[in-house]
Amino acid sequence: MAYASLYKWSLEDPNGFWMKAAEEIDWVSPPSKALFEDKAPFYEWFADGMVNTCWNAVDRHVEAGRGKQIAIVHESPITHSSKGITYAELQARVASLAGALRAKGIEKGDRVIIYMPMIPEALEAMLACARLGAIHSVVFGGFAAHELAVRIDDCKPKAIIAASCGLEPSRVVHYKPLLDQAIEEATHKPDFCVIFQREQEVAKLVEGRDVAWHTFQYGVEPAECVPVEGNHPAYILYTSGTTGQPKGVVRATGGHLVALKWTMKAIYDINAGDVFWAASDVGWVVGHSYICYGPLIAGATTIVYEGKPVGTPDAGAFWRVMQNNKVKTFFTAPTALRAIKREDPQGKLIEDYNLRSLKALFLAGERADPDTVVWAQRNLNVPVVDNWWQTETGWAIAANPIGIQQLPVKIGSPTVPMPGYDVRVLDEGGHQLGAGELGAIAIKLPLPPGTLPTLWNAEERFKKSYLSHFPGYYETGDAGYIDEDGYVYIMARTDDVINVAGHRLSTGAMEEILASHTDVAECAVIGVSDALKGQSPLGFLCLNKGSGREPADVVKECVQLVRDKIGPVADFKRACVVDRLPKTRSGKILRGTMVKIADGQDFKMPATIDDPAILDEIRESLLEMGYPKA
Ligand code: COA
Ligand code: AMP
């Protein structure tokens, strides 16, 4: 069926559409219907079906005769190694790990935090939780101990699974001391920690609390898959909101399975036996959906890449991995391609590799700028498909469904809404805007399967954050427009979330940390345009009167403070001291105007500004820091 008919069907008859899609999943007992509206606006999908995610991602393929097929390839230019794990091996490893977790008391519904780098064991840990019906929460390795502690206190894990270290090109990331520090800071304490010792750094275990990955599996009974209800949470993934308290996005099991399976064929054109590579990290939603679950549910081969687009060892790293593994579909963030393009503008390194197996390149995580899209199209000679989504949705809201019908590409647009997403553009008052008119992008409820049913332990926050501004809609937090052909364009965020190198960060969270510095009276963090990373955070600090401190010293301490509290991923490296911050008469900091000055854009003097002269002071400080950039 062509895209338009499928899309129409999904909105007019969600039960029919998604029950058909659900036939692709192996249920222990099938659901009676797709959509459960009785708890609206908390919608549920496939709530009364019984199913297991690990079964669908692993065991099912072994039963179907795919045991010898490679399920996971670990490509690690950082450790100069490449190795594969078959589906049969994966089944044995996951069943054993799950058995050991069960022997130590992990049951359905228990939370388990996973804090691991890009190694296959990270996926095995996720799948072992899924096998038991335990709810995992993966924390990105670039986050510092404090962020880990916040998540420990919010989801209260019974166990934490971590590795001894991660490997960045220029340094070893010492996970274990970070983990110990986080547990010390957190009020909640896990019963035990499982540590995967890497040969690059062996960590000291805490007696009575820590067990070693291999040792604790010795002699245990492998665990079978535990059936769970369709609405049972598969995982919690924390994402940045407007404050320092991250939002725990919940993913329900049934919808997750059905939606991901549908996307693998319809959007990414992947069948069992194909090779799919998403060069993201398991700590992000792309890693959950398209490094771990999606490709495995489809019976494909997935690649776990421990490296960077450049410098490990060169800007040909991506093409080498694609050639050596015969990758059919590749998924990355535009920023990664910009990094490659900067080092190899003519794409000369691409010519050194045989990329005949590559059929499409998908971009997501941030706006795909036209220069990058054109560069990729010209050098790779395959469709370059932008797709727009969020941690909250778990899969693409808008994409080009090349597996069912390749629609004409309009550069600058992630193409059209996917089934189940009734995307509208609204004005401040919630009225629908016409074609080409810029406004807030909202999705008419219910959201399709696989999207968040709620936030972990925070139903009120879920309603307040997403459902209250435009009643009857989910507010995406993105602004943009839809053109006369129904193509969606994403232009900016409407909140304090910024996007740095495809990573979603909260300027509010950074401000909370800066404000905790003893010499800082007031502060603001904005996201300025950055040619490589899309956006980059920039801080403005007002010091306490009479602090007597050298501004440069306070700036240095503040940069270190954000790195220590949020982590290197925040990329907070620039700040300046100013006398005053520009505000409205009611005291709201004019961050949007500051962004425009930093980016060298025209702006209208806000009518409510308290003292316009402050903008000149801000302009001067920015000039001293080299903004606007040429
Ligand atoms: N563990 C620990 N630290 C990490 C980390 C991890 N998993 N990932 C990143 N960091 C650190 C980096 O080492 C760096 O630290 P530094 O300040 O000491 O140099 C900092 O976090 C910022 O990292 P990064 O954003 O990767 O910037 P970079 O300048 O090192 O590299 C790019 C720039 C563009 C090459 C890189 O950002 C990139 O590959 N981006 C693509 C991201 C992506 O795929 N996102 C997908 C989301 S869908
Ligand atoms: P995350 O939750 O980390 O996936 O970040 C989601 C946010 O990233 C979205 O709300 C957008 O602001 C931005 N984003 C993701 N993909 C795209 C895209 N294809 N085009 C524009 N913005 C995007």
Task: Indicate the SS3 state at residue 267.
Answer: coil
Token representation of residue 328: 């059919």
Average of pLDDT values for 320-348? Answer: 97
Task: Indicate the SS3 state at residue 105.
Answer: coil
CA-286 nearest atom, ligand 2:
4
Binding-site residues, ligand 1, Cβ < 6 A: 141-142, 166, 168, 173, 279-281, 284, 286, 308-310, 332-333, 335-336, 339, 364-365, 501-502, 532, 568-569, 571
**C-alpha of residue 476 to centroid of ligand 2, in Å:** 10
pLDDT for residue 243: 80
Tell whether ligand 2 has an atom less than 6 A from the beta carbon of residue 414: yes
Domains of the chain: 88-226 (3.40.50.980), 504-624 (3.30.300.30)
Q: What does the alpha-carbon distance between residue 319 and residue 331 come to, in Å, rounded to a whole number?
A: 13
- pTM, rounded to two decimals: 0.96
Q: CB within 8 A of 588, min separation 6: which ones?
A: none
Condensed to tens digits (0 to 9), the pLDDT of residues 189-210 reads 999 999 999 999 999 999 999 9
pLDDT for residue 218: 98
What's the CA dihedral at 83, 84, 88, 93 to 10 degrees?
40
Condensed to tens digits (0 to 9), the pLDDT of residues 155-168 reads 999 999 999 999 99
**C-alpha of residue 475 to centroid of ligand 2, in Å:** 13
Q: Which ranges of 390-463 does DSSP label H, i.e. alpha helix?
A: 459-462
**C-alpha of residue 512 to centroid of ligand 1, in Å:** 23
Give the distance between the most distant pair of CA atoms in the chain. Answer: 74
Ligand nearest to the Cα of 290, by number: 1
Q: How many CB atoms lie within 10 A of CB 85?
A: 20
CA-284 nearest atom, ligand 2:
3
Which residues on neighbouring strands pair with residue 423, listed in sequence order? 443
**C-alpha of residue 540 to centroid of ligand 2, in Å:** 26
Tell whether ligand 2 has an atom less than 6 A from the beta carbon of residue 364: yes
Q: What does the alpha-carbon distance between residue 262 and residue 449 come to, in Å, rounded to a whole number?
A: 11
What's the residue count for the chain? 630
Ligand nearest to the Cα of 363, by number: 2
Ligand 2 atom 14: residue of nearest CA: 366
Condensed to tens digits (0 to 9), the pLDDT of residues 552-589 reads 999 999 999 999 999 999 999 999 999 999 999 999 99
Q: What does the alpha-carbon distance between residue 495 and residue 53 come to, in Å, rounded to a whole number?
A: 34
Ligand nearest to the Cα of 441, by number: 2
Element (H, E) at 250: strand 247-252
Tell whether ligand 2 has an atom less than 6 A from the beta carbon of residue 213: no
**Averaged pLDDT of the chain:** 97
DSSP state of 10: H
Q: Is the pLDDT of residue 525 over 90?
A: yes
Angle at CA 278, nearest 5°, toward 414 and 110?
Answer: 105
Tell whether ligand 2 has an atom less than 6 A from the beta carbon of residue 367: yes
Portion of the chain with pLDDT greater than 90, in percent:
97
CA-573 nearest atom, ligand 1:
17
Measured between alpha carbons, how far apart are the two ends of the chain, in Å?
Answer: 49
Tell whether ligand 2 has an atom less than 6 A from the beta carbon of residue 115: no
Per-residue pLDDT band at 543 (split at 50, 70, 90): very high
Sheet holding 488-493, edge to edge: 422-426, 439-444, 473-482, 488-493
